[in-house]
Amino acid sequence: MCLSANHFPDCYHNTLSAECKRACGDCRDNITCNAIVGMLDVGCDPGVYVTLDKPMCNQECCNGMNGLGCAYKCGACADGTPCNKSSGLCPGECDPGFVGVMCTEKDGALAPVSVALLVIGILFLIAGLRILFAIWVYKKRVT
């Protein structure tokens, strides 16, 4: 193994350090990383990020986050299942009330239970108004 001008070896693809024994991580677009620090100017692939104390593209996004730099929130995946940290796609269904491949769009259709509750509420309102009207008519006759 020969050293380059900066006294670091010419490492193979996606390895770094003086001995070329550490893996770089997932550099964006599968470009070879910098053999000294472990990343390059183009950054990391979606779903991974770097920190100051670990400057390699090997820190996975936290659950609930995804994309380049883990900058995007996941949608409402069913049962709290985390989305794909790279693409943001939900692995299965969406929580009730959400649609779309990323479960970020609110479902415009009212659920049948919501419609039933709305109808019952309107019927109670009408019954209450009829009772108030009857009381008003009764008081008018008495006085």
Q: What is the secondary structure of 41-63 as a DSSP string?
A: TT-B-TTEE--SS--SB-EEPPT
Residues 46 and 81 in one domain: no
Q: Which tokens is 66 given?
A: 């995804």
pLDDT digits (tens, 9 = 90+) for 52-73: 666 677 788 898 899 988 889 9
Number of compact structural domains in the chain = 3
Smallest CA-to-CA distance from 59 within 47, 67, 43 is with: 47
Residues 23 and 9 in one domain: yes
pLDDT digits (tens, 9 = 90+) for 2-22: 223 333 344 455 555 455 555
Residues 77 and 53 in one domain: no
Q: What is the mean pLDDT of residues 27-56?
A: 64
Contact yes or no for 48/84 (Cβ under 8 A): no
Domain that holds residue 140: 110-143
Q: Which tokens is 85 given?
A: 């940290």
* Three-state secondary-structure class, residue 14: coil
Residues 7 and 55 in one domain: yes
Share of the chain above pLDDT 70, in %: 64
Residues 40 and 84 in one domain: no
Q: What is the mean pLDDT of residues 96-116?
A: 80
Q: What is the mean pLDDT of residues 32-61?
A: 67
Q: Which pLDDT score, from 0 to 100, does residue 15 have?
A: 54
Give CA–CA dist 87/18, Å, rounded.
34
